[in-house]
Amino acid sequence: MSETHSGGCLCGGVQYVVTGPMRDVVNCHCGQCRRTHGHFAGYTEAPLSDFKLESSESLKWYQSSPQARRGFCSICGASLFWVPEGSDHVWIAAGTLDPPTGLRTVAHTYVADAGDYYTIADGLKTYPGAQPTGRP
């Protein structure tokens, strides 16, 4: 039996479906994620081959760095995805998934860039930069 997850933005202009398993959630504390989301961001990940946009009229992409682009809704402003250049995976903002997700938060990345207004003290794995290849 295949797992199916759906999600979308606040206004419904962008809706997606993922058919297949997704990685558990990793919180990213890098400056780009904090500026994009207003705080650190929790992301899951899925192969692009399992990802399908059901509605994307308001989806816009922003090239946030030479290495990645970020997808957001041009109507409600929701930050939804990021895709590294040349990758066959999409990172999905976990808060945009419809419940129940069945996912759990398992790690924190880019903790060296974390904001000075909070403390990471939940006992999960932490990485000063990117998570090593593979899943936590």
Burial of 23 (0-12, 13-18, 19+ CB in 10 A): middle
Contact (Cβ atoms closer than 8 angstroms) between residue 97 and residue 75: no
Using the predicted structure, report yes or no on whether residue 136 has a pLDDT greater than 70: no
**Which is more confident, 11 or 132?**
11
Q: Confidence class of residue 2 from pLDDT cuts 50, 70 and 90?
A: low
Domains observed in the chain: 4-126 (2.170.150.70)
Answer with the residue of higher pLDDT: 83 or 131: 83
pTM score, whole prediction: 0.93
For 27-79, what is each residue's pLDDT tens digit? 999 999 999 999 999 999 999 999 999 999 999 999 999 999 999 999 999 99
